[in-house]
Structure 1
Amino acid sequence: MQTIIANNYHVFFNEKGYQYLSEILVPKDYSKIFILVDENTSNHCLPKFLSMLSTEVEIEIIELEAGEENKNIETCLQIWHSLTELGGDRKSIILNLGGGVITDIGGFIACTFKRGIDFINIPTTLLSMVDASIGGKNGVDLGNLKNQIGIIREPKAVIIDTLFLETLPGNQMRSGFAEMLKHGLIFDREYWNKLKNVSSLNTNDLNSLIHESVEIKNKIVSEDITENGIRKSLNFGHTLGHAIESYFLENTEKQSLLHGEAIAIGMILEGFISKEKGLLTDEEYQELKYVISDIYDPIEFNEVDIKNCIDLLIYDKKNEFGTIQFALLNGIGKIKINEQSSNELIFKAFENYKS
């Protein structure tokens, strides 16, 4: 797969990524390499990665507990202390080997340690390959509120090794696939059409579709790195999806949802809002709802659940002047940003989802 050129970095695929690492990780440029992993990537991905890594620079491993609930400032404090105790300095580099939690928190750590050191993202989940590792967003959650604390700063590089996907369970693959579906819905009707028949896709198809998804996100981010315009289109499904994800994360009576599982629901809900506002035809909405519902299990919401999810919208990081901002579909493959919706319409969207 061809290397993708972003604003200030490159996205390398498979063996080209390891070639790049061997060229830049040299003692004259870096004093120490820190590899940030969680317990899952430590077991399933780190041995392969280390076998492919060729460098004379000293390596230290920092391992975290897995899970979104650990993407917080308390974990950052632990990592900052570890970096200090292990002799990290301004010429150190952090390699973030893991899923979206690792690339999000690892980038944030690198941006803030010693006022900023280099970092490279090596995503190991489908979600982090097509979304979290691309575009320079780094940060942590504030309690159960998603991505409230962070900074936009691009990595030195992103290295995507699709063989890591062989270590993933099905629910993690589906979680990442939700972001690929979103890319088609907001940007490219033809790409969406390729994704619709997911059961017929083989490994070669998936590699090609991952590359195309990264290209789509990179095109959008390259036009608007600070999210003042077109980059807001990437928030389709995320305004309500993040609220749902946060609610299920904090509610001990609910089973936590993976990011993509929550975003899948969010896309159906926000697709309905798009239809009700006259931006999406009923035929397009039914197509969206059918495709997504065929991939993801339904989640039950009662009236209390819906009210609590709506209440969480006030904390959405995309809000401006106290107004909740939606990115809505303006037909499949097109988007309209800075849209509003009444609570009544949001509640109606939930009722339609339940049906």
Structure 2
Amino acid sequence: MEATVTKQELETRILNLCTAMTKSCPEWDTALIINRINQYYLTGTMQEGLLVIKRNKTAQYFIRRSFKRAKEESMLKDSAVCAFYPMESYRDAAQVMGSELGNTLVETETLTISILERFKKYFSIKTLHPADSIIFGVRAVKSPYEIYWMKEIGKKHKILLDEVVPGILREGMSEIELTAELYEKMLKMGYHGVTRFYQFQTEMIAGQVGFGESSLVETNFDSPGGMRGMCPAVPIIGNRDRLLKKGDLVFIDVGFGMHGYHTDRTQVYIFGAAPSEEAVRAHRGCIEVEKRAAELLRPGNIPAEIYNSIMQDLEPNFLKNFMGFEGKRVKFLGHGIGLHVDEAPVIANGFTCPLQENMIIALEPKKGVAGVGMVGTEDTYIVTDQGGQCITGGEKDIIIV
């Protein structure tokens, strides 16, 4: 399949979003899209600009830079649904489409006060409404194009963690060296170079890498795993001073991405020794949780009910340090994934919209083991009538290297 998104698919995405916005906010008149990933999803190109969608199901894409590149990349350039215009400032957009926006939907997680003030210089907005959850709801159900590429990504992700990583690990290497060599291998396999998150101010190059108890260190990232990181100013990537030694647990939780899309997987290794019985029990307990959760990834099932049915059945001893370690524990079992690693739906309390076929969800049950590190699993699944279809290889025991 071609990597370029077709005109028909892009037009369908815009129309689907219009339908969803009307259902969620019947009084809407205009939607302003400034998030570059959302712009890419709807236009097939990622530029600095403003995508305006009107209630009549037409769109106008105003591009500051690069208009030339947008015209080269996007299949919408000849579409009746969306027109492209060069833009120096929002004044140019207002001159083309008029200043009256009426009831306006915006991405509240992206729109800053300063950008909003610039909007207000040239546009009249009657009311503001959040568009974030509406857009995520549309993006959550993947098209055949998206599923094809995420399956291809999942195949490479499996090879990376099952076959490539064991050949990289060597005694005395630092976490930074492992991350650097892992990143090089990923790029050569087709990785697009960055793992993207929607969560505000979240940075990640590939994912979390840690030796031993480094994988238990608390972070500012909403994940059960941990890492020491480079330094307080850059608490990601890995630590230069933590060197791999025999008996170390190696925790690798990385996204793999191509053409903008990602899968998510975690694999745990033990270097130069056998894992302890405690680590094996904890890890295999996580495998069983993943299997049970995957079986429930069926259309119509409620994410919050999946979460609670599994959590309520876990033994108190297993729940200790489950989904984190000591004070740092997250309150979910999985998350949607696609153009961002952290998408809807989330397998957690509060998410009550039923699952739909072709949603894609990463399940990641993990458990901290004192003095050892983080164990557990993560794989990416497609929601189907038969339960979750794994596209990253499936849960594995701790790999002995």
| TM-score for both structures, normalised by structure 1 | 0.29
Over alpha carbons, which structure has the higher Rg? 2
Instruction: Provide TM-score, normalisation by structure 2.
Output: 0.27
Which one has a larger percent helix, Structure 1 or Structure 2?
A: 1
More strand by share: 2
